[in-house]
C-alpha cells in the first residue's frame, strides 16, 4: 500500500487562533496522484491540534475561541493572567526549546493551553479521500487550532509549528447499498 | 487494498440527541464481506458528530446531553435562548441550505451547537474490524451525536443528515505476544 | 496489507490517572517488524480513553486531572460525592461485571466518569508510523486516561482494563515537496 507525506512548517502568528488547512490537504492529495484512500493530518505539538468543523465563518471562530479561553482560563502567573492552577507546569524550558531565538528560561505557564488543546482539538484527524479530494461535508473544513502561539512580540517572539499530511492509497470504494 | 462505502441519510428527530449506529456499522461490514481491517465513520456536518461510548443506557445519555447543554448554553437570540455569545454566527442561510422546505432567512443562532459538536463528538471515529465486526468493548457503542437537529415543528421543520461508513480490508492481524 | 495486534490488560491503580503507554506502542511496532504504516490505539472501555499530549511532566498531568474533576464533578450519590446529576446511571451491575471479585450490586454512580472520558480522551487514536516508531512530536506521548479506576480498597477493589495496539503496514511514504 502506497503512502505519501507532506510536512508543513510555519511560524505561529497569534496566541490562540484557528486556520483552515483544507486547501493544503487537497493540494497534497493532488500532488500524490491518489484518487481514493484516507488521510491522517497530525500535529507535532501538545498545544496545537487539528480540528474539523466550520472554519469559513469568522464570527463562529471567534465564538469557539472565546468559549475556549473563558472556560479554561490562563494560569495567574502567565503573562496572559487569569487564574491559578494548583499544580503548574515546572518544565520551564519547553517553550524556549521550541524557539530558536530564546536563550533563557521561559517563565510562561501554559497548562491551560495544553488543556484547551486536548479539549477542543486533536493530535490527529483521519478522513477518507474520494475522487482525489478529502471527503468533507459542505460546511466542513480541516484546520489547525493553535492554543499557545507567538505574535512576534516579547521575549520569545517566534514559535515554529509543524503539522503533517499522511496520504494512504486504496482501491476505489465499492458502494454498499 | 479494497475499501467499501455506505452512506446513510436520515432526518433528525430532535434538537439534541444521541443515537446508536453500531448495528448499521456491523451490517455494512457484513455486506462488504470484510473480516479484518478498520472502519472510519464520519459525519458530513459541523453540528453533528460521531461518538464512541456507552449508548445503551438511556439515563446516561440524558446525563451527557444535560451536561453538554448546561456547560455550553445557547445564544440568547436563539429560539432555545440562554446566553449571549459575543460574536454570533452571521451566515444566516446555513440552516436553510440544509432544509429543502425553507425559503427564507434562518434566524437561529447555532454557535453553541458547533462548540458542543467539537467538544463532545468528532468529525470521524476510526476503529479496528475483527472477525467481521467492529472491535468494541462490552459497553462500547458507536453513535451519532446530533447537536442542532429539527423536530418537525417551526419554520424549518426538517433537517437532513448524512454519515458515512468507510471499510478498509486488511489481512488477519498477527497477534503480538 | 499486513496488520498486527497487541492486547494489553492491567488492573487500574487509582480512580483518575494518566499513564504514558508510548513505550508499549513502540515495543509492539518493533516486535511486528513494521517500519512504515500507522497505528490505532483503542480502549475497550467507556470510562477509560486514549490521549495524545505531553505526559512526561507530572505537574501538567495534575493540572489536567484537576481541571477534569472540577469541571465535570461527581454524582452526589457517588462514594466520591460532589453534585447531583438529574438522570443518573441505573445500570448498577456494570462495575461488578468488570470486577471478578464482586458478587453484589455496585452502588457507585459514574456518569461523570463517562462524560470526562468523552470530553478529555478518545475511544481510539490513529497515528502514523515512520522508521519503526510511532510518529510523535518532541513533547507528544500516547497515554491511557483512566476516569473510573480502582485503588485496591473498598467493596470493589480491582478493575481490570484493556487497551489494544493495532499496527497496519504500508510502503515507505514518498515525500511530497
Q: If we measure between CA atoms, which residue out of C106, C72, C90 comes closest to residue B60?
A: C90
| Count of other CB atoms within 10 angstroms of residue B30 | 12
Question: What residues of chain A lie within 8 A of the CB of B44, using their CB?
Answer: 136-138, 140
Among the residue ranges A33-42, B20-29, B154-163, the one predicted with the least confidence is B154-163
Q: How far apart are CA C60 and CA C64, in angstroms?
A: 6
pLDDT at position A56 over 80: yes
Q: Looking at the whole model, is its pTM more than 0.80?
A: yes
B neighbours by CB contacts (3+ pairs under 8 Å): A, C
Among the residue ranges A38-42, A83-87, B77-81, C106-110, the one predicted with the least confidence is A83-87
Q: How far apart are CA C103 and CA C174, in angstroms?
A: 56
Give the SS3 label for residue A138: coil
Phi and psi torsions of A8, nearest 5°: -120, 125
Among the residue ranges A3-7, B39-43, B53-57, the one predicted with the least confidence is B53-57
pLDDT at position A101 over 70: no
Burial class (CB in 10 A: 0-12, 13-18, 19+), C29: buried
In this prediction, residue C43 carries a pLDDT of: 98
Q: If we measure between CA atoms, which residue out of A68, B1, A141 comes closest to residue C2?
A: B1
Give the SS3 label for residue A91: coil
pLDDT at position C37 over 50: yes
DSSP 3-state helix, strand, coil percentages of chain A (rounded to 5)?
25, 30, 45
| Count of other CB atoms within 10 angstroms of residue B81 | 12
Strand order in the sheet with A48-53: A17-20, A141-146, A48-53
pLDDT at position C138 over 70: yes
Residue range B129-149: average pLDDT?
96
**Residue C74: partners with Cβ closer than 8 Å, 6 or more residues away:** C80, C81, C82, C83, C109, C112
User: pLDDT: is A109 or B66 the higher one?
Assistant: B66
Q: If we measure between CA atoms, which residue out of B131, B128, A40, A125 comes closest to residue C5?
A: B128
In this prediction, residue A50 carries a pLDDT of: 98
In this prediction, residue B108 carries a pLDDT of: 59
Q: If we measure between CA atoms, which residue out of B176, B36, B37 comes closest to residue C30?
A: B176
* pLDDT tens digit sequence for A128-148: 999 999 999 999 999 999 999
A78 grid coordinates: 502567565
Q: How far apart are CA B8 and CA A170, in angstroms?
A: 22
Q: Which of the four pLDDT bands, split at 50, 70 and 90, describes residue B84?
A: very low
B159 grid coordinates: 433537517
The verdict on a CB contact (< 8 Å) between A175 and B85 is no
In this prediction, residue C153 carries a pLDDT of: 80
Q: How far apart are CA B89 and CA B57, in angstroms?
A: 34
pLDDT at position B87 over 60: no
Q: How far apart are CA A124 and CA A65, in angstroms?
A: 19
A contact set with B (CB within 8 A)? 1, 36-38, 51-54, 57, 59-60, 62-64, 66-67, 71, 119-120, 122, 125-128, 130, 135-140, 169-176
Q: Which residue(s) pair with B124 in the sheet?
A: B42
Q: Are the C-beta atoms of B147 and B50 separated by less than 8 Å?
A: no
pLDDT at position B143 over 90: yes
Q: Is beta strand C3-11 parallel, antiparallel or unpaired with respect to B174-175?
A: parallel
Q: How far apart are CA A95 and CA B45, in angstroms?
A: 36
C135 grid coordinates: 510518529
C172 grid coordinates: 515507505
* Residue in chain A nearest B85 by alpha carbon: A63
Q: Which residue(s) pair with A38 in the sheet?
A: A128, A168
DSSP 3-state helix, strand, coil percentages of chain C (rounded to 5)?
20, 30, 45
Question: What residues of chain A lie within 8 A of the CB of C139, using their CB?
Answer: 45-46, 94
In this prediction, residue A110 carries a pLDDT of: 84
ipTM of this complex > 0.85? yes
In this prediction, residue A18 carries a pLDDT of: 97
B contact set with A (CB within 8 A)? 1-7, 28, 31-32, 40, 42-46, 71-72, 85-91, 94, 97, 111, 114-115, 117-119, 122-124, 126, 162, 164-168
DSSP 3-state helix, strand, coil percentages of chain B (rounded to 5)?
20, 30, 45
- Please, how many CA atoms are within 13 Å of residue A160, restricted to the half-sphere of its CB? 12
pLDDT at position B72 over 80: yes
CA distances (Å), A23 to each of A61, B85, C128, in order? 18, 29, 21
Q: Which residue(s) pair with C165 in the sheet?
A: C6, C41
The verdict on a CB contact (< 8 Å) between C53 and A86 is no
**Residue A102: partners with Cβ closer than 8 Å, 6 or more residues away:** A95, A96, A155, A156
* pLDDT tens digit sequence for C59-97: 889 889 999 998 998 766 554 444 444 434 444 444 444
pLDDT at position B113 over 90: yes
Q: If we measure between CA atoms, which residue out of C126, C127, C135, C134 comes closest to residue C26?
A: C134
Nearest to B86 among A66, A120, A136 (CB): A66
pLDDT at position C105 over 70: no
Q: Are the C-beta atoms of C108 and C24 separated by less than 8 Å?
A: no
Q: Where are the beta strands (DSSP E) in A29-176?
A: 37-43, 48-53, 124-130, 133-134, 141-146, 160-169, 174-175
The verdict on a CB contact (< 8 Å) between A5 and C175 is yes
Q: If we measure between CA atoms, which residue out of C98, C111, C116, C74 comes closest to residue C157?
A: C98
Quick one: how far is CA A123 from the chain centroid? Answer: 8
pLDDT at position A106 over 60: no
Average pLDDT over chain B, rounded to whole? 85
Q: What is the DSSP letter of C79?
A: T
Q: Is beta strand C3-11 parallel, antiparallel or unpaired with respect to C160-169?
A: antiparallel
Amino acid at each position: 500500500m502506497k503512502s505519501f507525506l507532506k510536512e508543513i512548517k510555519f511560524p505561529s502568528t497569534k496566541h490562540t487562533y484557528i486556520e483552515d488547512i483544507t486547501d493544503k490537504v487537497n493540494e497534497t492529495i493532488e500532488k500524490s496522484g491518489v484518487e481514493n484512500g484516507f488521510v491522517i493530518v497530525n500535529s507535532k505539538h501538545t498545544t496545537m491540534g487539528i480540528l474539523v468543523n466550520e472554519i469559513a465563518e469568522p464570527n463562529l471562530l471567534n465564538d469557539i475561541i472565546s468559549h475556549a479561553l473563558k472556560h479554561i482560563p490562563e494560569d495567574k502567573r502567565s503573562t496572559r493572567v487569569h487564574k491559578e492552577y494548583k499544580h503548574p507546569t515546572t518544565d520551564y524550558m519547553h517553550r524556549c526549546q521550541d524557539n530558536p531565538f530564546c536563550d533563557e528560561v521561559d517563565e510562561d505557564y501554559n497548562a491551560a493551553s495544553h488543556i484547551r488543546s486536548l479539549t477542543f482539538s486533536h493530535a490527529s484527524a483521519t478522513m477518507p479521500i474520494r475522487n482525489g479530494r478529502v471527503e468533507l461535508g459542505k460546511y466542513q473544513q480541516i484546520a489547525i487550532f493553535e492554543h499557545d502561539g507567538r505574535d512576534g512580540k516579547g521575549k520569545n517572539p517566534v514559535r515554529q509549528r509543524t503539522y503533517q499530511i499522511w496520504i494512504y492509497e486504496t482501491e476505489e470504494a465499492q458502494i454498499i447499498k
